[in-house]
Amino acid sequence: KQEVTQIPAALSVPEGENLVLNCSFTDSAIYNLQWFRQDPGKGLTSLLLIQSSQREQTSGRLNASLDKSSGRSTLYIAASQPGDSATYLCAASGSARQLTFGSGTQLTVLP
């Protein structure tokens, strides 16, 4: 059974810093790896989706990478802003097309 882990559970950085969020998964037989953002008390918003044949995806200041062989994905946020403060979740999509989620990293960007 797929297990997805995100470390650290919480992260606090000063504004302007570049940062990396980590995600690891146990089963490399995935269709894709997705990163979501969740604001307090809200639903999830999809940020980036990396298909299994891809190595990375970029959207604005966000860059996500995927290394299936090592079971790892990273989300890189450049020049962080207070508006980036949220919980970031990664999710792996397996053969049943279901998503297995990590428990998230709560990011706080201090002004």
Partner 1 sequence: DVKVTQSSRYLVKRTGEKVFLECVQDMDHENMFWYRQDPGLGLRLIYFSYDVKMKEKGDIPEGYSVSREKKERFSLILESASTNQTSMYLCASSPPQTGTWETQYFGPGTRLLVL
Nearer of residues 19 and 49 to partner 1, judged by Cβ: 49
Closest CB 5 distance from partner 1, rounded Å: 10
Q: Identify which of residues 42 and 55 has a Cβ nearer to partner 1 in the complex.
A: 42
Residue 107 corresponds to which tokens in the numbers above? 């990011």
What does each C-alpha distance from 53 to 31, 35, 56, 63 come to in angstroms?
8, 16, 10, 16
What's the closest the beta carbon of residue 79 comes to partner 1, in angstroms? 25
The least distance separating partner 1 from the CB of residue 86, rounded to whole angstroms, comes to: 14
Eight-state DSSP code of residue 57: E
Q: Which is nearer to partner 1, 36 or 77 (CB)?
A: 36
Closest alpha carbon to 35 in 13, 18, 15, 56 = 56
Measured from the CB of residue 21, what is the shortest distance to partner 1 in angstroms?
A: 14
The nearer residue to partner 1, 17 or 39, going by C-beta atoms, is 39
Q: Is 35 exposed, middle or buried (0-12, 13-18, 19+ CB in 10 A)?
A: buried
List interacting residues with partner 1 (CB under 8 A): 4, 9, 31-32, 34, 36, 41-46, 49, 51, 89, 91, 93-94, 96-99, 101-104
CA distance 43 to 1: 25
